């Protein structure tokens, strides 16, 4: 089972690129973030025509997440538990082929001297609680998405330039490690320890052309999923296309159960 995560930065603006990538990469499950549309505006017909079922948790103009699956969708649940008053569409879960998957668009948190950073940290605490609850079921779990977290200095072109940013602050990294320490595995790093591999390149300053990027898109695997991990990687080709998202897909492959 090939599972990918991709912040598409507006599904309508990137639809030709998304459809092209679905045809060429042939993922079984795709976890999308920042679709930037309400549920009714999601291009279901075009994506379903390629054999995918769609679960969507949208929001007008901002945020929004979706799960695409060629293996069906069961027990779909929208919203991250822990705050019933949170209006932002950033989290969606479903079961695909016996694997519980979640698509995550974690808050950016900038500027850090505003309410946005405490919201980011509180959201991460809620995510940790949900990640722990999912482990209790002792089944395969994949938590994928745009975490807006640069885990280490190996995951950023210039850590000094990013110092003080919400994506790299010690508190952010510590909260991310707390989730990992529950028993989750960073799928990409488990298969590729090469430093300075990135999943995001800013539109400004020729970042893509200079490979001045950051790695903030992650697939975290429960022990039962990590035991089945057959491969993982970053597919940078979509970032080089016209009208590309500033993120590119990150993927992993899980062996099917015998």
What is the Cα 139 distance to its own chain's centre?
20
Cis peptide before 111 (omega within 30 of 0): yes
Domain count, the chain: 1
What is the 3-state composition of the chain as percent helix, strand, coil, each rounded to the nearest 5? 30, 25, 45
The dihedral sign for the CA sequence 8, 14, 15, 16: negative
Q: Give catalytic residue positions.
A: 105, 146
What is the pTM (predicted TM-score) of this model? 0.98
Per-residue pLDDT of the chain (258 residues; tens, 9 = 90+): 999 999 999 999 999 999 999 999 999 999 999 999 999 999 999 999 999 999 999 999 999 999 999 999 999 999 999 999 999 999 999 999 999 999 999 999 999 999 999 999 999 999 999 999 999 999 999 999 999 999 999 999 999 999 999 999 999 999 999 999 999 999 999 999 999 999 999 999 999 999 999 999 999 999 999 999 999 999 999 999 999 999 999 999 999 876
CATH of the domain at 38: 3.60.10.10
Tokens of residue 225, six digits: 């999923």
Q: What are phi and psi of 211, to 5 degrees?
A: 55, 40
CB proximity list for 157: less than 8 A, separation 6 or greater: 196, 198, 211, 212, 213, 214
User: What is the extent of the structural domain holding 170?
Assistant: 2-254
Read out DSSP for 144-200?
EEE-----SGGGBS-HHHHTT-TTT-HHHHHHHHHHHTTT-EEHHHHH---SS--SB
Nearest to 4 by CA among 241, 235, 242, 239: 235
């Amino acid at each position: 089972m090939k599972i990918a995560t991709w912040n598409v930065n507006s599904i309508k603006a990137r639809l030709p690129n998304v459809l092209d990538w679905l045809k060429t990469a042939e993922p079984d499950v795709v976890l999308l973030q920042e679709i930037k549309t309400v549920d009714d505006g999601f291009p279901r017909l075009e994506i379903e025509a390629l054999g995918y079922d769609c679960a969507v948790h949208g929001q007008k103009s901002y945020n929004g997440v979706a799960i695409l699956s060629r293996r069906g969708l069961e027990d779909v649940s929208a919203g991250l538990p822990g705050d019933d008053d949170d209006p932002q569409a950033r989290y969606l879960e479903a079961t695909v082929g016996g694997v519980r998957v979640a698509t995550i668009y974690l808050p950016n948190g900038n500027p850090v001297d505003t309410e946005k950073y405490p919201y980011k940290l509180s959201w991460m605490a809620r995510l940790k609680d949900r990640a722990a609850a999912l482990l209790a079921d002792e089944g395969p779990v994949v938590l994928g998405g745009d975490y807006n977290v640069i885990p280490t200095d190996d995951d950023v072109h210039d850590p000094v330039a990013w110092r003080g940013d919400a994506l790299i602050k010690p508190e952010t990294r510590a909260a991310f490690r707390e989730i990992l320490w529950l028993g989750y595995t960073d799928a990409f790093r488990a298969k590729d320890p090469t430093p300075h591999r990135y999943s995001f390149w800013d539109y400004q300053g020729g970042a893509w052309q200079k490979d001045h990027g950051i790695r903030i898109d992650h697939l975290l695997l429960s022990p039962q999923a990590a035991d089945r991990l057959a491969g993982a990687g970053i597919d940078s080709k979509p970032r080089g296309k016209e009208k590309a998202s500033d993120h590119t897909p990150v993927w992993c492959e899980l062996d099917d159960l015998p």
